[in-house]
């Protein structure tokens, strides 16, 4: 199996622990920091904004994996001070021109991805294969941490993998939602490449225990 990419969800950290967690992310070679932007419209929650992004950017060079859970995400994109190799995903069904937006993200030197909520047709993926770098598969209904994995989640990962394998380049599948050790094993078995991790996996005991949680998690899922 290729290396599993890990994206800890910074919204699951207490604000006063973020700096310490980010130091641990650097020490342990984390692939990117998952950063959820919620507008209170696409999901019934409001979360992380430009000031939070700038604060994180000021203390680390780790790529930031921004997930726009927003209506018309293209309008939020210019607010952020992007750095090459940052990652941007959004929900295509609430974007006016999703293909164009993927191209715009890539033109900024960033990785471009779709985020697929439960129940959203996978046909969106088939139409955008040439300009997709990754897909965030939502294994829970977006908006809140700590939910249960959806009933048909594993089968849907397999369907996404089948579609993405038609592309002429590698497109990563990252699963976001209830990525416990038990679930993560099956997610990888069904075709996932990466995992967004939070309170169900390695951000539950405080930054001083992150390295231990990370090692145990990785040893248990591969």
Which positions are catalytic? 36, 176
Convert 188-209 into a string of H (helix), E (strand) and C (coil).
Answer: HHCCCCEEEECCCCCCCCCHHH
- H/E element, 22: helix 18-27
| Angle, vertex CA 98, rays to CA 35 and CA 101, nearest 5 | 70
Instruction: Return phi, psi of residue 115, to 5°.
Output: -105, 125
- The answer to whether the CB of 54 falls within 8 A of the CB of 31 is no
Q: What proportions of the chain, in percent to the nearest 5, are helix, strand and coil?
A: 40, 20, 40
Helix-helix angle 210-221:181-189, to 10 degrees: 40
């Amino acid at each position: 199996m290729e290396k599993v990419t890990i994206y800890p969800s910074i919204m699951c950290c207490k604000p006063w622990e973020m700096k310490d967690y980010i130091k641990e992310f650097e020490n342990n070679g984390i692939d990117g920091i998952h950063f959820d932007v919620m507008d209170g419209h696409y999901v019934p929650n409001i979360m992380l904004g430009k000031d939070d992004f700038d604060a994180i950017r000021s203390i680390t060079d780790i790529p930031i994996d921004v997930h726009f859970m927003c209506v018309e995400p293209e309008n939020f994109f210019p607010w952020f001070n992007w750095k090459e190799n940052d990652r941007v995903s959004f929900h295509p069904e609430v974007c006016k021109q999703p293909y164009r937006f993927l191209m715009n993200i890539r033109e900024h030197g960033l990785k471009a991805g779709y985020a697929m909520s439960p129940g959203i047709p996978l046909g969106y993926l088939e139409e955008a294969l040439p300009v997709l770098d990754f897909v965030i598969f939502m294994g829970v209904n977006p908006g809140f941490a700590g939910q249960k994995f959806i009933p048909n989640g594993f089968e849907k990962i397999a369907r996404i993998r089948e579609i993405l394998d038609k592309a002429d380049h590698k497109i990563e599948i990252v699963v976001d939602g209830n990525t416990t050790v038990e679930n993560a094993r099956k997610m990888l078995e069904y075709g996932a490449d990466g995992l967004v991790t939070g309170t169900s996996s390695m951000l539950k005991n405080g930054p001083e225990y992150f390295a231990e949680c990370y090692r145990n998690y990785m040893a248990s899922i591969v």
